[in-house]
């Protein structure tokens, strides 16, 4: 009994934190010289490296009860590669902390939290994490359809929860007593959150039918409804259109100003940081923190780093900036910072150079739509507008895509972009009833023409999308995943030959730095040619040692798709859409979640293949002889259709655009337009991108009607048949 009495004082009451006068000084999170591990470290375990050794971080628990306190609020953004997710997990109390008392949550021990809700004393309840792993609609609470076309069908399974059920917590087949109507009982707060995130028109829809951007809004709403003290958002703007990004950012700012809840955002290096962010932490490689502090100081440092990234001579600099420059070079030499990450961090300082690019008229039509109109009951999801066709006003979508053309499909979340693409790939059940012709044939037989089969379409269309990502089998190796491009289904036997095998090997060789985790340390053994017999005839050959291709790309047989990061999986699915050299390439947000360096590598391959590429200065392309190039980019016989909400993800070769209108009931919505980019403009240019997303009145000021003289002399009459707008 005496021993137990002596142990009692070790249970600290932390009475100092309970004093009102010190309330504003109490940190919400305090980390002092903490080192973290995924498992408890042992001397024998070498596969358990330290995470963020000797980390120091403090998040104040300032209350926004007065204007003075509101001015001192800290709104943090964590910028860096994939390590940022692990840092958010550390802030939520995950992973092993050494020493154990290096990480603490003093504010959660105060009387204020006890009076508000005792459950918030538990870190898992007080700190909520919302991450977007790029798994399409399946990323929302594990809810997804049973198969790829399920989101477009009227049949619903018992577990196809609606958005309202998801938000209320009515996602249990056997709810506990008192939870039949869900776990959320604050209806006023629910309606306020639904209104703020513009989810009112989606409440009756199944979660599995939401678009990529709608899914993100629903997940953010779900997290806010749990009323946490701190909300950690991992890439909250990924997959959202520019209008939605502005609205979500404004909503998050309002929440942050009230500290209801406090917010910490994790962003990619190339993402735009919201204006209301006051503090920034920059992460490097190997779980190291490069910078942290007030935003102005961090931005000044990045401006100095741009001299190193652009390989420019800064001239004479003040002593402080010289020290920053030397520290950047030292980090590069140590490997904590690399050229790709550095280029991503300072990408905003690089000006976009314009060059004259003509829009090809294209060859024969591969897609022809004459009044497509998709409707579910009373709700029209595509074609709810009128177009001028041959000087006549007609209902529905009228659109034609020809070989060699490169199209960008723009539009807000929920405008029908994915529905439109599903009509082309025949994933949508209404495809058979719509006036659509693919490669000059409809899906159903016509007089003298057989209908085009689904298997022929699959062999002639390459497709990458978040929905495919959600349903793609994880047990395949990287090579097997690419080989499915030559199969009728994901798991059926592919039809391969030597040429296709060489094409796959060339792709794997080109993307080895992005897909092979051991690329930096691996040394390729080379075969010597010194002992080869002399040639009888003089020929142009080299006797330099060479490496076997099978060894170079052997990693693709050993690494499974499930072992890749989300970004690497997206790269594999992007390559799968191209490797069969299809007639139509469809990229539905294919580059979402990729770093700027990874995105530039994909754009390089898309436009130029293995040849050098001017848009990616930090990418080192292969340089074999010209005759050895197996991939030289998309050909004049291939058509490209892509969707994206990020201007930098659209290649400069895209010269055609189509803008779908905003859903009905949207304030300041967009109207339907399509047209051609002017010869010296690209969608990457800020003024062009802004014009493409501007409301109707502003759009007509930036754009002009497209027309060409002597139309009767042109082989393609699309310019006179449709109404085009140039931007």
Has residue 469 been placed in a domain? no
195 touches 169 (CB < 8 A): no
For the chain, percent of residues with pLDDT exceeding 70: 81
How far, in Å, CA of 378 to CA of 626, rounded? 57
101 and 235 in one domain?
yes
Q: What does the pLDDT average to over 240-244?
A: 82
pTM summary value? 0.81
Task: For 100-113, write each residue's pLDDT tens digit.
Answer: 999 999 999 999 89
Of the candidates 228, 232, 225, 176, which has an alpha carbon nearest to the alpha carbon of residue 199? 225
The answer, yes or no, to whether residue 454 has pLDDT greater than 70, is: yes
226 and 343 in one domain?
no
81 and 49 in one domain?
yes
700 phi and psi angles, rounded to 5 deg: -65, -20
331 and 233 in one domain?
no
Top pLDDT among 19 and 711 is at 711
The reported pLDDT for the residue numbered 425 is 93
Has residue 335 been placed in a domain? yes
- Picking from 281, 309, 331, the residue at the C-terminal end of a domain is 281
133 and 44 in one domain?
yes
111 touches 118 (CB < 8 A): no
Has residue 627 been placed in a domain? no
631 touches 399 (CB < 8 A): no
Alpha-carbon distance values, 450 to 367, 446, 455 (Å): 17, 6, 14
The reported pLDDT for the residue numbered 703 is 83
The reported pLDDT for the residue numbered 625 is 47
The answer, yes or no, to whether residue 352 has pLDDT greater than 80, is: no
| Lowest model confidence (mean pLDDT) among 291-295, 314-318, 517-521, 545-549 | 545-549
Has residue 236 been placed in a domain? yes
- Picking from 281, 308, 325, the residue at the C-terminal end of a domain is 281
Has residue 97 been placed in a domain? yes
Give the highest mean pLDDT range of 60-74, 163-177, 241-255, 292-306. Answer: 292-306
The answer, yes or no, to whether residue 77 has pLDDT greater than 90, is: yes
The answer, yes or no, to whether residue 507 has pLDDT greater than 90, is: yes
How far, in Å, CA of 555 to CA of 551, rounded? 8
Task: For 628-658, write each residue's pLDDT tens digit.
Answer: 789 999 999 999 999 999 898 999 999 999 9
Has residue 53 been placed in a domain? yes
Q: What does the pLDDT average to over 358-373?
A: 87
Run of H or E including 658: strand 656-659
Task: For 677-700, write each residue's pLDDT tens digit.
Answer: 988 889 988 899 999 999 888 898
The reported pLDDT for the residue numbered 356 is 58
Token pair in block for residue 564: 């890749």
Task: For 19-40, write each residue's pLDDT tens digit.
Answer: 343 445 789 999 999 999 999 9
Q: Based on the number of CB atoms within 10 Å of its own CB, is 620 exposed (0-12), middle (13-18) or buried (19 or more)? A: exposed
Has residue 288 been placed in a domain? no
586 touches 424 (CB < 8 A): yes
Query: Residue 102: which domain range?
Result: 24-151+159-171+183-281
Q: What does the pLDDT average to over 55-61?
A: 93
250 and 137 in one domain?
yes
Token pair in block for residue 441: 């044939």
How far, in Å, CA of 132 to CA of 682, rounded? 29
Looking up residue 147, the CATH number of its domain turns out to be 3.40.50.300
Task: For 117-168, write each residue's pLDDT tens digit.
Answer: 888 999 999 999 988 754 444 444 444 555 565 566 655 666 678 899 899 8
Task: For 286-303, write each residue's pLDDT tens digit.
Answer: 899 999 999 999 999 998
CA atoms within 13 A on the CB side of 134: 22
Q: If pLDDT is split at 50, 70 and 90, which confidence band does 42 have?
A: confident
Q: What does the pLDDT average to over 75-101?
A: 92
684 touches 650 (CB < 8 A): yes
The reported pLDDT for the residue numbered 150 is 57
The answer, yes or no, to whether residue 612 has pLDDT greater than 90, is: no
Top pLDDT among 311 and 462 is at 462
The reported pLDDT for the residue numbered 149 is 59
339 and 208 in one domain?
no
Token pair in block for residue 45: 């375990």
The reported pLDDT for the residue numbered 489 is 87
Q: Based on the number of CB atoms within 10 Å of its own CB, is 652 exposed (0-12), middle (13-18) or buried (19 or more)? A: buried
194 and 242 in one domain?
yes
Task: For 393-429, write each residue's pLDDT tens digit.
Answer: 999 999 999 999 999 999 988 888 989 999 999 988 8
Q: What does the pLDDT average to over 323-338?
A: 89
User: 3-state DSSP call for residue 593?
Assistant: coil
How far, in Å, CA of 338 to CA of 290, rounded? 12
237 and 299 in one domain?
no
Give the chain's length: 727
324 and 203 in one domain?
no
Q: What does the pLDDT average to over 49-59?
A: 94
User: In the structure, how many helices (H) and strands (E) does the chain have?
Assistant: 25, 27
The answer, yes or no, to whether residue 524 has pLDDT greater than 60, is: no
609 touches 631 (CB < 8 A): yes
Token pair in block for residue 660: 């779908």
The answer, yes or no, to whether residue 279 has pLDDT greater than 80, is: yes
- Picking from 349, 371, 393, the residue at the C-terminal end of a domain is 349
Task: For 547-563, write each residue's pLDDT tens digit.
Answer: 556 668 999 999 999 99
How far, in Å, CA of 648 to CA of 594, rounded? 11
Of the candidates 572, 602, 555, which has an alpha carbon nearest to the alpha carbon of residue 474? 572
Run of H or E including 267: strand 262-267
204 and 103 in one domain?
yes
343 and 253 in one domain?
no
Has residue 128 been placed in a domain? yes
| Lowest model confidence (mean pLDDT) among 14-18, 225-229, 576-580 | 14-18
| Lowest model confidence (mean pLDDT) among 216-225, 338-347, 471-480 | 338-347
The answer, yes or no, to whether residue 364 has pLDDT greater than 70, is: yes
The reported pLDDT for the residue numbered 269 is 86
Longest dimension (CA), the chain: 105
HEC-encoded secondary structure of 338-404: CHHHHHHHCHHHCCCCCCCCCCCCCCCEEEEEEEECEEECCEEEECCCEEEECCEEEECEEEEEECC
- Domain tally, the chain: 2
For the chain, percent of residues with pLDDT exceeding 90: 40
């Amino acid at each position: 009994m005496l021993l137990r009495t002596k142990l009692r004082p070790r249970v600290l009451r932390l009475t100092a934190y309970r004093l009102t006068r010190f309330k504003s000084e109490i940190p919400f999170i305090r980390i002092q010289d903490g080192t973290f591990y995924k498992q408890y470290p042992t001397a024998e375990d070498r596969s358990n490296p330290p995470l963020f050794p000797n980390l120091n971080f403090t998040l104040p628990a300032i209350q926004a009860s007065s204007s003075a306190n509101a001015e001192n609020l800290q709104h943090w953004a964590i910028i860096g590669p994939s390590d940022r997710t692990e840092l958010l997990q550390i802030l939520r109390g995950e992973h092993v902390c050494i020493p154990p008392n290096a990480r603490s949550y003093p504010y959660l021990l105060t009387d204020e939290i006890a009076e508000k809700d005792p459950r918030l004393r538990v870190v898992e309840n007080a700190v909520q994490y919302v991450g977007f792993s790029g798994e399409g609609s399946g990323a929302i609470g594990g809810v997804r359809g049973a198969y790829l076309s399920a989101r477009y069908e009227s049949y619903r399974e018992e577990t196809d929860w609606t958005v309202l059920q998801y938000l209320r917590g009515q996602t249990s087949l056997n709810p506990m007593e008192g939870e039949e109507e869900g776990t959320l009982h604050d209806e006023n707060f629910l309606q306020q959150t639904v209104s703020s995130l513009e989810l009112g028109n989606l409440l009756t829809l199944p979660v599995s039918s939401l678009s990529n951007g709608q899914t993100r809004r629903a997940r953010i709403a779900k997290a806010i409804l749990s009323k946490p003290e701190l909300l950690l958002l991992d890439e909250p703007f990924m997959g959202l259109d520019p209008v939605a990004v502005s609205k979500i950012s404004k909503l998050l700012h309002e929440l942050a100003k009230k500290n209801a809840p406090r917010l910490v955002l994790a962003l990619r290096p190339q993402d735009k940081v919201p204006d209301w962010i006051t503090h920034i932490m920059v992460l490097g490689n190997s779980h190291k923190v490069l910078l942290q502090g007030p935003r102005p100081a961090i931005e000044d440092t990045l401006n100095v780093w741009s001299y190193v990234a652009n390989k420019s001579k800064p001239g004479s600099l003040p002593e402080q900036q010289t020290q920053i420059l030397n520290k950047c070079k030292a980090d590069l030499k140590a490997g904590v910072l690399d050229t790709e990450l550095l280029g991503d961090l300072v990408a905003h300082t690089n000006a976009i150079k314009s060059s004259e690019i003509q829009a090809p008229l294209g060859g024969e039509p591969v897609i022809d739509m004459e009044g497509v109109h998709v409707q579910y009951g009373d709700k029209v999801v595509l074609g709810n507008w009128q177009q001028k066709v041959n000087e006549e006003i007609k209902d529905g979508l009228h659109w034609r895509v020809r070989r060699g053309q490169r199209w960008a499909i723009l539009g807000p979340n929920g405008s029908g972009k994915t529905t439109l693409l599903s009509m082309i790939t025949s994933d949508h059940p209404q495809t058979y009833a719509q006036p659509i012709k693919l490669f000059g044939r409809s899906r159903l037989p016509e007089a003298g023409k057989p209908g085009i089969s689904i298997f022929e379409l699959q062999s002639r269309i390459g497709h990458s999308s978040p929905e495919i990502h959600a349903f793609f089998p994880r047990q395949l190796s990287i090579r097997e995943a690419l080989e499915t491009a030559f199969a009728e289904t994901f798991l059926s036997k592919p039809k391969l030959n030597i040429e296709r095998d060489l094409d796959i090997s060339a792709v794997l060789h080109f993307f080895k730095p992005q897909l092979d985790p051991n690329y930096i340390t691996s040394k390729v053994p080379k075969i010597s040619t010194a002992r080869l017999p002399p040639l009888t005839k003089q020929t142009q050959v080299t006797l330099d040692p060479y490496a076997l291709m099978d060894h170079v790309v052997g990693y693709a047989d050993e690494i499974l798709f499930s072992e890749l990061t989300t970004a690497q999986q997206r790269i594999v699915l992007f390559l799968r859409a191209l490797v069969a050299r299809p007639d139509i390439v469809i990229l539905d947000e294919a580059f979402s979640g990729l770093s700027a360096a990874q995105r530039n590598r994909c754009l390089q391959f898309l436009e130029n293949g293995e040849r050098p590429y001017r848009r990616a200065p930090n990418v080192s392309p292969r340089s074999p002889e010209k005759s050895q190039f197996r991939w030289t980019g998309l050909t004049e016989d291939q058509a490209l259709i892509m969707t994206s909400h990020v201007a930098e993800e659209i290649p400069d070769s895209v010269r055609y655009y189509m803008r779908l209108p905003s859903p009905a009931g949207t304030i300041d919505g967009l109207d339907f337009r399509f047209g051609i980019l002017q010869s010296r403009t690209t969608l990457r240019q800020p003024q062009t991108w802004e014009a493409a997303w501007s409301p109707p009145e502003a759009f007509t000021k930036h754009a002009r009607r497209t027309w060409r003289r002597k139309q009767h002399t042109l082989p393609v009459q699309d310019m006179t048949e449709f109404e085009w707008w140039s931007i």
